[in-house]
Structure 1
Amino acid sequence: MTAPPRLSWRDVRDRIHDQILTGQYGPGDRLPRDADIAEDLNCARSTVQRAMQDLSDSGLVERRRKGGTRVRPDPVTRATLDIPITRREVEQRGGRYGYHLIRRSEANAPRAVLSAFELDTPRPMVRVEALHLSDSRPYILEDRWICPRTSPEIRDLDFTEQSANEWLVHNKPYTRLDLRFYAISAGEEIAGLLETPVGAALMVIERTTWIDGAPITTVKAITRPGYQIQTGS
């Protein structure tokens, strides 16, 4: 007898989606563990994880480290964005790309970085601060922390030529992405680097990625005044 084909992640996603829409799992309900769902549906745990990530990206569920997966109390629709390569972004807009490494260092991650990664204990990480340029003018100031446990190659890279942004996009796929947008007022150091007046309103794009629950990188990309995000579908 031929064994039935294993479910794809889309099949698993659709089943759980239907269970939420029909009320089997209501707002705030905790879903079974990924391993239990995989056993029940006779599929790989990675298949369930991929399905759950898609449901999380669509705003139906929320996943927390050590907290499991719950149906969101107020489901929302979220836009899904690919992480852009800044060099390509500048070139697609007709600019001449430039790059300047400000500094590269290694230290225990500060509390704000641990919080972004949802970690409880300090650990050494690589910090890369760099300036992306368009037509020789500041474009994006990048302050990035990278976890060597998930990216051990990072200790052998100096990022004087290629940006950490481009290397990570090409080499470190992720299973989870958190994205935030907010505004700050430019202090003296940032204003000097971006060649903008002190106190100018600047948009910050903060991204954090994980692979199967383990942190990869978190970055604050501080954009020049007038920066615009372009998306398409």
Structure 2
Amino acid sequence: MMTGARLSWKEVRDRIHQRILSGDYAPGDRLPRDADIAEELHCARSTVQRAMQDLSDGGIVERRRKGGTRVRSDPVTRATLDIPVTRTEVEQKGARYGYQLISSKTAMTPRSVTGNFELAQRKEMLRVKALHLSDGRPYILEDRWVDTTTVPEILDIDLTTVSANEWLVQNKPYSRCDLRFYAESASPESAELLNAKIGDALFVIERTTWIDEAPITLVRAQTAPGYQLLTRI
């Protein structure tokens, strides 16, 4: 009797990753034992171990000896750059983190946002503006659009106490990310909020994320003068 070909470690990895992206395994959840996954998927245990190691290397899961495998609470889903939790970024520099919600309201996406999301037409999304602080000083000014069709749960989150950045990183891993870096002149509003001068060149990090074909969020993060971006590869 012929049997089907066994799954490769990449296929096993992708199946497990998809379960994490779909929410079957939430941040902090413990995954089944490698042996149990191997039995379920009809593959060798070594195949599962190789798949899990790749997910661990990619920042999706955390493996501990005798502690099993868990979905990371702060997943750093890797594209070309980890998406950081700004609070963690500030605290790792030894500074005190602060956060101020400027506004949170639904609005129709402008053409630039609609285009970045690759949508055929404008749609209503949640727009969130917030200021992240480091030792009481402006650090990052965030202007974010969130697709509430894809992420309806965010409407129940108190964004005065939890930043959209932190909540999305912890709860909505993505399958695709477009990343842009550029400089732009400080407007009167951004100059006032970031303690800059009108016309100063500000470093901007722009990210757009999707789960499969569904938009999640687009954020333009304007950084305060003196901000430095460090990544290790």
TM-score, length of structure 2 as denominator length: 0.69
> Which contiguous aligned blocks of 4+ residues in structure 1 show a shift greater than 4 angstroms?
10-13
Distance between the aligned counterparts of 1:12 and 1:101, measured in 2? 38
User: Any idea what SS the aligned residue of 1:120 has?
Assistant: coil
Distance between the aligned counterparts of 1:128 and 1:97, measured in 2? 19
The alignment status of 1:182 with 2:207, answered yes or no, reads: no
The alignment status of 1:98 with 2:93, answered yes or no, reads: no
Distance between the aligned counterparts of 1:183 and 1:166, measured in 2? 24
The one-letter amino acid of 2:220's match is K
Structure 2 residue ranges without an equivalent (≥5) = 15-78
**CA-CA distance at 1:7 after TM superposition:** 3.4
User: Any idea what SS the aligned residue of 1:169 has?
Assistant: helix
Contact 1:109 1:125 survives alignment (8 Å): yes
Corresponding residue for residue 56 of structure 1: none
Deviations 1:176-199 (A, max 9, x none): 000000001111111000011111
User: Any idea what SS the aligned residue of 2:199 has?
Assistant: coil
RMSD: 2.0
Distance between the aligned counterparts of 1:8 and 1:123, measured in 2? 40
Structure 1 residue ranges without an equivalent (≥5) = 14-78
Distance between the aligned counterparts of 1:118 and 1:140, measured in 2? 26
The one-letter amino acid of 1:145's match is W
Corresponding residue for residue 111 of structure 1: 111
Corresponding residue for residue 35 of structure 2: none
Distance between the aligned counterparts of 2:213 and 2:131, measured in 1? 29
Corresponding residue for residue 64 of structure 2: none
Corresponding residue for residue 149 of structure 1: 149
Corresponding residue for residue 140 of structure 1: 140
CA distance 1:186–1:10, change in 2 (3 Å): same
Distance between the aligned counterparts of 2:226 and 2:13, measured in 1? 42
TM-score, length of structure 1 as denominator length: 0.69
Distance between the aligned counterparts of 1:108 and 1:3, measured in 2? 50
The one-letter amino acid of 1:173's match is P
The alignment status of 1:220 with 2:199, answered yes or no, reads: no
Corresponding residue for residue 5 of structure 1: 6
**CA-CA distance at 1:123 after TM superposition:** 1.3
CA distance 1:231–1:10, change in 2 (3 Å): farther
Distance between the aligned counterparts of 1:206 and 1:7, measured in 2? 35
Distance between the aligned counterparts of 1:121 and 1:220, measured in 2? 21
**CA-CA distance at 1:6 after TM superposition:** 2.2
User: Any idea what SS the aligned residue of 1:95 has?
Assistant: coil
Deviations 1:21-60 (A, max 9, x none): xxxxxxxxxxxxxxxxxxxxxxxxxxxxxxxxxxxxxxxx
The alignment status of 1:125 with 2:154, answered yes or no, reads: no
Corresponding residue for residue 206 of structure 1: 206
Deviations 1:142-191 (A, max 9, x none): 00000011101122123000100000000001000000000011111110
